[in-house]
Each structure stands twice: as structure tokens, then as C-alpha cells.
Structure 1
């Protein structure tokens, strides 16, 4: 005579098995999703660059014309090589003269010159070799007291804003969640900011994830205080 397991034991076993399978599934998602999304985005960018560059090149100068199959990344390599070559040419005297001549033509166009000047100033501020923009993460008490927001220090404030306020201010960009490309520009003195040791990359991860991804932080230990011991009388 066989003794069957009680109903409660069967139900507990099934629930435990379902919980394990669910945990395994989510563990697989956590492992494969970042890799899959990264590969998909990288492949999309490479494909878009290849198609754009291939559309600008004549068929005789397109390497894929002479290959049996299309090789991904050829357009990206050609784009990087072209930008490097242009940078090399503009670094010498003749290149600077040509750039100056082209800028003089652009400055005579009413609408185009404003767009060109703004884009050039932004790129020089962000990509310049001596640029310090977006290199410091701070905490700002915004939009009210006891409510804190992550901010990126763009640089020191100059011009009319500084002259009218009479203070040494800094341009601070406050990105929004989950789209950090939109945000607010505020002008703050240094004493109203709290410097953070986290990198800009970690700051962006925290903003995009809505605080789910928190960068690790190891607090520095205070220096040991040595108290001198007074010797008694001999």
C-alpha cells in the first residue's frame, strides 16, 4: 500500500519549483538583456553610418562594391579616417586659412551664422582639450529646500549674468529623469553646491534608471587622532 504525499506538501513543492523557475528566468534576463541591447544599439549605429556614408560615395569608391558581401563597419572606419584627415589638414597654416575663409563666408549669412556660432561654441566647450565642462558632479538643493538634485558643473559664469549679480557663479546643468538631454540651467555659487566623487557616467546611470542603479561609494575614514599622554612626575 503506497502512501501519497499530503496536499499541502504537493502545493508547497509546486510553489517552490515555480519560484525557482521564475528566479532563473529573471536571472537569464539580467544577464542577456544588457548584452543584447548593447549589441543591438551598436549594430544600429554602425548600420546607419554605413548606409549614410555609402550614399555619399560613388560606387567606384565604395569598398563594398568590390567585395562579395557587405562588410559592416566600413562606413564607420571611413568616417573616422575622414575626420582625422580633416583635423590633420586644418592643423597646418593652409588649413587654418581655408577654415577662416569659410567662416568669413558663413558670417555673412544672417540665419546660418547664428546657428554655426552656437554649435561651434558648444562643441569647443565640450570637446576642447582644455575643457572642464561636465567633469564634476554636484548636489544642488532644488527645486526647494531639503530636496536635492544631481547636477553637472559646466563652467564658471561670465558676461552679463555675472556683472548683474556681482557674484562668482557657476553654470550647473540639472538633467531630468529618464531623459538626461532635457533639463534646467541654473547659476549657483560654489557654497550652494555639494561636490560628489561619482563620475559623470555613474551620475547618468543613476538619472536614467530613476535611482535604481546606485554607484558604489566607499566613505573615506577620518584620520586617526593621536592624543599625547602626559607623563607623571618621576
Structure 2
């Protein structure tokens, strides 16, 4: 029975991640395939009749690359700047657009500083430690209420789902910068400490 239980758990450890990965990939491909609506109806019918799967992925990548290429040249930047100004003048839409754009610029811009550094902090109380990510620094108004000093804006992710978490402001002296990369830190968090960057330390557990 012990061997059967061991084989069952080993099988689950192999099958479950593979199944979830394939399911997510299928959902992404099916969703992106729906972008084919931008093609002429004749081409849509031909593509669906021939059951060409995954073309939506290529089409989406092509659109992203094309927009990126246009946005990278002088004319494209002027056009985007004009469009950005127009959108920001539309009530309600401008508040949503501005918020989303600010977050995307912070996350995806090469000059952004979001999730660039993993730090070790005491959370949620003293002598309890966790890994967090530096996202920036507090604004002047907030910093004034904090009494000045060198503070960092820090995102504390939850485990095993790092998309949920807490935004806190801590003194820089209370944050220990880690040498591990952001990717390594995310794997460490998602795996609940199982995947240890650099290998786990030997710990003696007393019974």
C-alpha cells in the first residue's frame, strides 16, 4: 500500500502540472483565435473550414510587433501622442485609461522600476520573514505624513497566487535586498518555498 500511495502521488505531481499547463495553453490559443474577426469574412470562413488552429496567436503577435514598430519611430510617436491626448479628454474614459496606462508603463517600460528587486522583510510581524518586491517610492504627500526619511513602496505577494497581495511602505533600512532575480523569487513564492534558489540549506528539524 505504501508503494501504491507513493506511485499515486508521484503520478499526480507529473500529471497535474502538465494538465493545467495544457489547459491554460488551450484557453490562450482559443481566446487569441477569436481575434480572427478582424480578417475579412471570406478569409474567416476559409480558415475555420480548414481548421487552422493557433493562427490567432500568430496574428496577435504580428499585431503587437507591428504596433511596436510603428510606436518606435518618430511619426508613430507623434500619432500615439495625439491619440493619447484625445483619449485623456474624454470623461470617465480618461480616468480608466490613465490608471491602466500608468500601471502598464510601470510594469512593461524598460525604464520602469516595478518588480526589479526582490527584498526580504519582516511580515506580518516582527521575527516573521517573507519575500517582497520593490515597486518604487512613496509620493511627496505620503512621505510628508511619514515624517520624511528613505522609504520604499513594496508589494508583498501571497502564496501560491502572487497576483494577490499587499502594498506597504517600509523604511529602506527594514528591507534586505536579495541577490536572487525576480523570476527566482517568484518561483520561490509560488512553490511555497519548495523551489529554493541556489539550493536549500540543511536544516535540522527537532521532533
TM-score (ref. length: structure 2): 0.84
Runs of 4+ in 1 over 6 A off after TM superposition: none
Which residue number corresponds to residue 110 of structure 1? 91
Residue 54 to residue 185, structure 1, CA distance change in 2 (3 Å):
same
Take 1:55 and 1:30, find their aligned partners in 2: how far apart are those partners? Answer: 39
* Structure-2 residue corresponding to 1:27: 10
Aligned length: 199
Kindly state the Cα deviation for residue 155 of structure 1 after the two structures are TM-superposed.
1.9
Aligned-residue RMSD, C-alpha? 2.3
Q: Which of the numbers 139, 143, 164 marks the counterpart of 2:120?
A: 139
Paired with 1:97 and 1:153, the residues of 2 have a C-alpha distance of: 33
Does the 8 Å contact 2:188/2:197 carry over to 1? no
Q: State the shift of 1:190 in Å.
A: 1.6
Residue 87 (str. 1) matches residue 62 (str. 2) = no
- Which residue, out of 168, 193, 197, partners 2:179? 197
| 1:214 CA displacement | 3.6
Task: Describe the SS at the equivalent of 1:110.
Answer: coil
Which one has a bigger Cα radius of gyration?
1
Q: Which residue of 2 aligns with 1:98?
A: 79
Q: Unaligned 5+ residue runs, structure 1?
A: 1-17, 220-234
Higher relative contact order (CA 8 A, sep 6+): 2
Q: Do structure 1's residue 42 and structure 2's residue 35 form an aligned pair?
A: no
The answer (yes or no) to whether the contact 1:89–1:95 under 8 Å persists in 2 is yes
Residue 173 (1) aligns with residue 176 (2) = no
Separation (CA, whole Å) in 1 of partners of 2:144 and 2:89: 30
Q: How far does residue 184 in structure 1 lie from its aligned partner after superposition? A: 1.4
CA distance in 2 between counterparts of 1:100 and 1:61 reads 33
C-alpha distance in 2, partners of 1:43/1:178? 22
SS in 1 for 2:176: strand
Shift of 1:25: 2.4
Indicate conservation of the 8 Å contact 1:155/1:171, yes or no: yes
**Per-residue deviation, 1:182:** 2.0
Q: Which runs of 5+ in 2 are unaligned?
A: 201-207
| Residues 198 and 215, structure 1, Cα contact 8 Å, conserved in 2 | no
Is 1:119 the counterpart of 2:100? The answer is yes
Per-residue deviation at 1:132?
A: 2.9
TM-score by length of 1: 0.75
Q: Distance in 1 between matches of 2:154 and 2:116?
A: 11
